[in-house]
Structure 1
Amino acid sequence: MTARSTRRTTAAHTRIAAVGAIAVAGSLLLTGCGDQTKDKDSESAKTSSAPLADQLPKQVRDAGVIKVGSDIAYAPVEFKDDSGKTVGIDPDLADAMGKQLGVKFEFENGTFDSLLTGLRSKRYDIAMSAMTDTKDRQEGVDSETGKKVGEGVDFVDYFTAGVSLYTPKGKTQGIKTWDDLCGKKIVVQRATISEDLAKAQAKKCGSKKLSIEAFDNDQQAQTRLRSGGADVGSSDFPVAAYAVKTSGGGKDFEIVGEQVEAAPYGIAVAKSNTELRDALKAAMDAIIKNGEYDKIIAKWGVDAGAVKAATVNGGK
């Protein structure tokens, strides 16, 4: 083979290699564009399916989870069904909000009086547990002593509920108002508005003593009343109404008198976490606007407590 033919072959190989390199480069370029387009499409779809995701703090958005402290023994607001699943008004609302925010709300069980402590220690991102929004809780003040007990919290208010009295069915003992409780024994859940009202009433009763027995959860209080260990119980109206409807097939309890102290339920958030607070408010407003909120409230038969918009720190 001559030197010339060698050069020609080499040149041919060079041209083929160059064409191949260009083809590969083009292919990589197209693939790169495809990936970028795919990424953009994916991000667009994510934004479309969770329109409020970008309002969350980045840390929460990246985690994909909001940790919820809750006393999961307060039917119908939050409780365990027969299969052990957490259900109720709050879990349903949280699921609907999660779709707006692109995250999952994970409920963790705790006693009611420990929820704000857990929030302050960052064990939870929020507390959502039929918690009444009050100025004392906003300011971190003990409602009984008036002393500062910790950092206050902000609330995103989403429902309104009063407090009810209920007795064993057919054994009302003439109880219609809180003033009728003097000389009686009442069961309540610890650290609730019901306990606060009972303590205030006990002071008014003076020597005609009102005895108060407080429990870690409302189910324990109901059990005590059902067994004849007390004269009357007190819970938030939705809870009392649900107990009257379901306990013993509706044969155990009856509500007496009217609701008192109507006030908002709020989702508690650390005061330093305003971005999360505002994202939750936006999500609640979104499900109110799109009708999901009304469907959930109607499902649990608590239409009377529905609100038209979420508010921040509306409690007094």
Structure 2
Amino acid sequence: MTGPKSIISTLQRHGALWPLVALGLIWLVIIIVNPGFFAFTIQDGRVFGGVIDIFNRGAPVALIAIGMSLVIATGGIDLSVGAVMAIAGAVAANLIVGTDLPVPLIILAGLGAGLAAGLLNGTLVAGFGIQPIVATLILLVAGRGVAQLLNDGQIITFQNEAFAFVGVGTLLGLPMPVWLVLFVLAAMLLITRRTALGLFIEAVGANASASHYAGVPVRAIKLTVYAIAGLCAALAGLVATADIQGADANNVGLWIELDAILAVVIGGTSLMGGRYSLVLAVVGALIIQSLNTAVVLSGIPPKFNLVIKSAVIVAVLMLQSPVAQAQLASLRRRFTA
């Protein structure tokens, strides 16, 4: 029979214990400051509630965190995802305003722009051996410039209900961004866990040289993960653009790469590469969004938001550290002896 100790042991073994504890504690704070926040209502076929709002607002970070997990698992990093969001949004907005292309083709064009950006990053890292932080920093700077050129330095606005459905639409009662996160997560889990790709990613992150001599196509794997990260960032950019029905090259996705990296690390993925968890990366994104919501609901002055957010994240990361884990294990043995 599975008991609480067995469940806790399983969660701890998979690195899920402390992220889930942190998410639960933040939600507890939200319940204390706003007891009705987690109530659900159904109106016009759509489910409304605080939890739904957290999932919906956290969707862009969750999408990027899925792709970022794979990049970090290979020992890399992608600082350009926010700029890729801006490029994808600019491409889509300009096509909506300037052409009569159907929405599916416009979405494919936006995703294609993200794929091209990811392939560029992957080529610089895998093909030319440039350090990932430097290679993606190039597109971090240049990407927003490209988006601004596409927008001619303006904020492009539009009215297109079919495209807006990507950001504000509802499917089976849930917001479309939530479904997109679930779809991308399921697809990536299927690809990485039902094929050799996931094993190759972990092998490259653990030891790229040994993987190369073992026959693993290291360069192809790195190129693939950066391409996936570009696609995820582009999809997040399309969601953000559809949400506001406009493309703001200066502000869309600004600094979102930092939240995505934090979400991945909170989920237990090491920046040194190796093992990773896509599910826990999404949990990390929910933690960040829940924390933002808790700070707002608590009525704390906005000037303290970033400080509180940083303190909570540091606490979660410290609890996940090997030193803290060893000390907690020692205390547990002492009290159970």
TM-score category, normalised to shorter length: under 0.3
Structure-1-length-normalised TM-score:
0.22
The structure whose RCO (Cα within 8 Å, separation 6+) is larger is: 2
Structure-2-length-normalised TM-score:
0.21
Q: Normalized per residue, which structure has more helix? A: 2
Q: Normalized per residue, which structure has more strand? A: 1
